[in-house]
Amino acid sequence: MKVENIKIDKSLLKSFKIYTQTNITKATIQIINSFIPFIAIWILMYFSLDYSYWITFLLGIVNAFFLVRIFIIQHDCGHRTFLDNSKARAIIGYICSIFSTIPFHYWAKSHHLHHSHNGQLELRDIGDINTLTVVEFKALNAWGRFKYRLYRSIPVMFVLGPIYYVLIHNRIPSIGMDVFKNEKWRLWLNNIVLAVMFVTLGYFLGWGKFFITHFTIIVLFSVIAIWFFYVQHQHEEAYKQWKDKWDYLTAALRGSTYYKVPAIFNWLTGNIGIHHIHHLNPAIPNYNLKKALEDNLWVNQYVTILTFWESLKLASNKLWDESQQRMITFGEYYKREKLGLV
C-alpha cells in the first residue's frame, strides 16, 4: 500500500512561526505553578507516611503529573525554546532534569533525533519505542518472538519498561553515534549530581521515608510520561517508513496524534497532547501550543484525534504492517500467518 505524502502550502506552514515567540511572563508563571505545588505536595507526602501510605500514594499520583509539567519545561529548554536567553534555558533545563532524573543535555540530543527522524525505521531504536515490522517479526525464531512479545506486553511496556527507562537507561551513554561523544561526560556528571543529592536527602530525611516519597513520584511519573509518548506515535494509522521514502511533514502530522484529554490534564502535561503541532514546529513553546491549534484547526484533518478512552485500545498495537501501512495486533498477525497471508 502506497502512502501519499501530505502536501501543504508553504505559506501556511510559515504562519506557525508567530507562535514560536517566547514570553518571559508565561514562562515564569509556569515555573512557579509547577515547582511550588510539586515541592508542597512532596512535603505533604513525606509527612503523610506517618499516617497512611495510601494517602502518600494518592498524593504521589497528583505530584507525578506536576513532575510531568516540570519535565515539559525541561523538554522545551532542550528544544531551545521556552525562553530566549540561552544561559537561562540551560540552567532551568538542568534544574528540571534533577527533579525528573532524565539527563538534560544527553536526552535533548536524542530527542532532537526523534524529531528529525520520527517514524524513520532505520533509527527507530533512538528516542522512540522500538517497533518491529511484520516481515521482521516473521523472520524471528521462537526465542526472538518471545522476547519481543515480552517487551511489548502491557506490564513491561507500561510499568517495568518506563521505570527501567527513567532510572537505568538514562544513566548509561548507550548511543554510539559520534554526535553523542561530547555528551557522555555530561551524563556521568548528571549521575554524580543525582547520587549526591539522593544520598544527602536520604541521610537528613531518613532513607526509608525519602526513597518511598521520591520514588513513588518517579515511578508514577515514568508510567504517565511513557504512556503519553506511546499514544502519540503508536496509533493504528501511524507513519513509519524507510529513509528513502520518508517525508518530514507527513511524519509530523500522520505520525503524531492529537491526544484530546480534559483541560486539567492538558494543563498538567504542558499541552504535549497537541503533539502534531509540536512536531510540525518544535520551536513553539508549550504555552503557545493551544493557541497555535485554535488558530489552525484545519491541521486536524491530517491527524488521528484520540480521547483517553479511545487511546486505551492502542495498547494492543504491536507490529507495523508495511503492506497495509498500519499497526496491527499480535492476534491479527497470527491469524494471518495461519492463513499463509504473511
* Reported pTM: 0.94
Q: Buried (b) or exposed (e) across 185-198, using 16+ Cβ within 10 A?
A: ebbeebbeeeeeeb
Label the pairing between strands 326-328 and 319-321: antiparallel
pLDDT band at 11 (very low <50, low <70, confident <90, very high): confident
CB count within 10 Å of CB 111 equals: 18
In contact, 154 and 234? CB cutoff 8 Å: no
pLDDT at 186 over 90: no
Q: Which residues pair with 120 in a beta bridge?
A: 241
| DSSP codes joined into one string, 46-70 | HHHTTT-HHHHHHHHHHHHHHHHHH
Which helix (H) or strand (E) is 39 found in, with range?
Answer: helix 24-48
pLDDT band at 126 (very low <50, low <70, confident <90, very high): confident
The pLDDT score that the predictor gives to residue 249 is: 93
- Residue 290 or 182, more confident: 290
- Residue 192 or 179, more confident: 192
Q: Where are the domains of the chain?
A: 10-338
Distance CA 306, CA 296 (A): 18
Helices and strands (H and E) in the chain: how many:
17, 4
| DSSP codes joined into one string, 311-325 | HGGGGG--EEETTTT
Per-chain mean pLDDT for the chain: 94
In contact, 317 and 234? CB cutoff 8 Å: yes
With CA atoms as reference, report the closest residue to 66 among 41, 87, 94. Answer: 41
Q: What is the pLDDT of residues 229-278, one digit of tens each?
A: 999 999 999 999 999 999 999 999 999 999 999 999 999 999 999 999 99
The pLDDT score that the predictor gives to residue 2 is: 64
- Percentage of the chain exceeding pLDDT 90: 86
The pLDDT score that the predictor gives to residue 287 is: 98
CB count within 10 Å of CB 58 equals: 13
Distances (CA, A) of 292 to 19, 70, 241, 284, 296: 6, 21, 28, 9, 6
| DSSP codes joined into one string, 166-183 | HHTGGGS-----GGGGGG
The pLDDT score that the predictor gives to residue 1 is: 60
C-alpha cell read off for 83: 525562553
Q: What is the pLDDT of residues 127-182, one digit of tens each?
A: 789 999 999 999 999 999 999 999 999 999 999 999 999 999 999 887 767 777 77
> For the purposes of burial, counting CB atoms within 10 Å of the CB of 87, is it exposed (0-12), middle (13-18) or buried (19 or more)?
exposed
Q: What is the pLDDT of residues 193-235, one digit of tens each?
A: 999 999 999 999 999 999 999 999 999 999 999 999 999 999 9
Distance CA 66, CA 33 (A): 9
C-alpha cell read off for 290: 493551544
| DSSP codes joined into one string, 195-210 | HHHHHHHHHHH-HHHH
